[in-house]
Amino acid sequence: MWIRLQFLIGCCAVTHACSLVAGLQVGPRSNHENSATDPLAALGLTVTRGAAPGYVEDRACATCHAEIARAYQEVGMGRSFFAPATARWVEDFESNRFYHPASQRTYEMQRRGERLWMRRYQLDESGQPIQVLEQEVDWILGSGNHARTYLYRTPNGELYQLPIAWYTQSQSWGMAPGYDRSDHLGVTRRVRRECMFCHNAYPDVAAGSDRADAPQTFPARLPQGIGCQRCHGPGAEHVRRAFSGAAPESAIVNPARLSPERRDAICLGCHLQPSVALPGLRRFGRGDYSFQPGELLSDYLVPVDAVEQGRSSEERFEINHHPYRLRQSRCFRASDGALSCLTCHDPHRRVEPEKRAAHFRSACLSCHAAADCQGHPGGEEAGAGAAAEGSDCASCHLPKRRTQDVIHVVMTDHRIQRRPGGPELLAPLAEKDPVLLDVRLLPTEGAPDGALGEVYRAAAVVRTSGGAAAGAVGRLEQALAAAHPAELEPYLELARGQLKQHRFDGAAQTLGRILVDRPQHALALMWLAIARAGQGQMQAAIALLRRVSGDDAERAEVEFNLGRLLAGIERWDEAIEHYRRAIELRPNLVAAWVQLGAAHTALGRLEQAAQSYRRALELEPADSSAYLGLGQAWERLGRRAEALRYLRHGRRVVAQPGAIEAALQDLDGG
């Protein structure tokens, strides 16, 4: 469960570990790279140089591999991320209204030419729209083979997910994964780099900007779709050599020629996710965009598995469980690395529906004899072997099944079983959070063990819970004392947990150690300011935040926290200025709108206060403090009817309406 703090403690909560160093350099640089005769320049191609150097636009691949490039655009990975203007629409924009009873909100997804807008509202007691919010969609995530979700970008470069999704299998609108509940995050769920790592190609961003402590921001221009180079490695030198008469094969990765462990790592980096509730960590010192084909998975990622209450790992089935379930299969264990994703799936091509049964049957028959099939209907009359020749192996042994995390989708279960189950596998499910009892490292070649392994285990829980798991914070502290890792990331995780637990003295000590080596570290300075405030040292906290504000103004948290501290000593005008800066950076920062309303109220600026509270409620219609502040402002302005309308509505939609009930009693006798 989450613990709400008075301050925002940074942009890295619930995210994977990232790098403190630049991405790896790829291969030798050609003499042509900075030359006027560089063939890439002649083709109008640019090469990335920052966190992920050596990549080129994927259109370059089509120059020599036109047929493969064309076929790849029909594969889901080729259509994983794109702008609305380039969309191949699969949604129904005529029947585009969806009501979510749990949160009492109605959603509409409206196509306006090539632009897409989400409209969300509630209805008040008289049936009139209230808390109306419109937000333009900047990016679409998902091919539409199963689902699509929708993102928007804030001025400081952050990406956020919208609550509504399109589900292709049911041809209907519904709540996005994780939103089918009353207390969902609305328009404030941030999209992080480790999510984009698996949904898109690498962007061209500065070295070090993908590290664990860097702001979770993205450039306005992003690649559109998972491209060729995510599996074949940075392609600039390969293209350069191809156009220069050199041997291009030496500058590109062919996954089929790698060892099984290195071949599989390309798929497992995204598709091996034992539990969506508990993501693994990047190896300390690695950036989100630093993985390159040919590496071992354990050099980049430490996958963790969850021990879940009431459900074994064999019973857990999530949307991203393809290799996780496959690795539980006897077929996989007996193959000694021969069975892989590539046995059945050509990542370059989509198999036509009418050809799928034969395609997957041929993969099965590469190991099994047709005569082995004993369970096909009519087998006794036709003969088992003949039945097998016409059978659909996958539909029997890898059936479709409803996923437990994305409850509106059914996917192929890749755990190969003789008798996997029946119609109950497709039964509707309710969205609920798993209860995690423990975490273990998933066995992979080269995975950390011993004291360092304990650091990763505990750090994964601290990051996922935002530090709310007190036991994990204590285990991380003990593990760090035993392992003494040199990297910065686990100490930041410890500080995060100590702040969340209000252990301000311990957090100050941990952050002080970090600042000895990194005296200008922005995140450590901001968190130390929060620790000092918790210790009652307000002036010291303000001084620390001012140091960060000038150098790292893209952090909306810094401006917000400065506003909170200044408001705490009643320096209202200064507080308002910092709240406004925070909102300029992140206009959906609900807490800043609420606190801005409170500051205006303190200065008697009731119209401005009411505007701020209303904007907070448009963004988050379940915020009790905004209802109370708005009701008070309008009452003092003599707008009693409006105050009553909003307070009565708030009483119906907030989780704990007691304070609103009391305000109504004072205003109108309830």
List, for residues 618-653, the tens digit of each pLDDT value. Answer: 999 999 999 999 999 999 999 999 999 999 999 999
Q: Across 101-170, where does the E strand assignment appear?
A: 105-112, 115-123, 129-136, 139-141, 147-153, 159-161, 164-167
Stretch among 369-373, 492-496, 663-667 having the lowest mean pLDDT? 369-373
Q: Is 216 helix (H, G, I), strand (E, B) or coil?
A: coil
Which amino acid, residue 467? Answer: G
| Rounded-to-integer distance, Cα 206 and Cα 488, Å | 20
List, for residues 321-369, the tens digit of each pLDDT value. Answer: 999 999 999 999 999 889 999 999 999 999 998 998 899 988 898 888 8
Mean pLDDT, residues 582-597 taken together: 97
pLDDT at 28 over 50: no
| Rounded-to-integer distance, Cα 283 and Cα 297, Å | 10
pLDDT (0 to 100) of residue 371: 78
Confidence of residue 390 (pLDDT cuts 50, 70, 90): low
pLDDT (0 to 100) of residue 620: 98
pLDDT (0 to 100) of residue 474: 96
Stretch among 133-142, 402-411, 533-542 having the lowest mean pLDDT? 402-411
pLDDT (0 to 100) of residue 498: 97
pLDDT at 25 over 70: no
pLDDT (0 to 100) of residue 280: 86
pLDDT (0 to 100) of residue 17: 27
Q: What is the CA radius of gyration of the chain?
A: 27
Q: Is 538 helix (H, G, I), strand (E, B) or coil?
A: helix
pLDDT at 422 over 50: yes
Confidence of residue 7 (pLDDT cuts 50, 70, 90): low
Residue 178 in tokens: 């994780």
User: Which helix (H) or strand (E) segment is 265 a member of?
Assistant: helix 260-271
- Read off the pTM: 0.91
Evaluated on CA atoms 81, 82, 84, 86, the torsion sign reads negative
List, for residues 238-266, the tens digit of each pLDDT value. Answer: 999 988 888 888 899 999 999 999 999 99
Looking at the chain, the whole-number percentage of residues with pLDDT higher than 70 is 91
Mean pLDDT, residues 470-475 taken together: 94
Mean pLDDT, residues 641-669 taken together: 94
List, for residues 160-203, the tens digit of each pLDDT value. Answer: 999 999 999 999 999 999 999 999 999 999 999 999 999 999 99
Confidence of residue 445 (pLDDT cuts 50, 70, 90): confident
pLDDT at 659 over 70: yes
- State the distance between the two ends of the chain, measured CA to CA, in whole angstroms: 33
| Rounded-to-integer distance, Cα 103 and Cα 35, Å | 59
- SS3 percent helix, strand, coil of the chain, rounded to 5, is 45, 10, 45
| Rounded-to-integer distance, Cα 138 and Cα 158, Å | 12
User: Which helix (H) or strand (E) segment is 401 a member of?
Assistant: strand 400-402
Q: How many CB atoms lie within 10 A of CB 269?
A: 18
List, for residues 522-575, the tens digit of each pLDDT value. Answer: 999 999 999 999 999 999 999 999 998 876 656 899 999 999 999 999 999 999
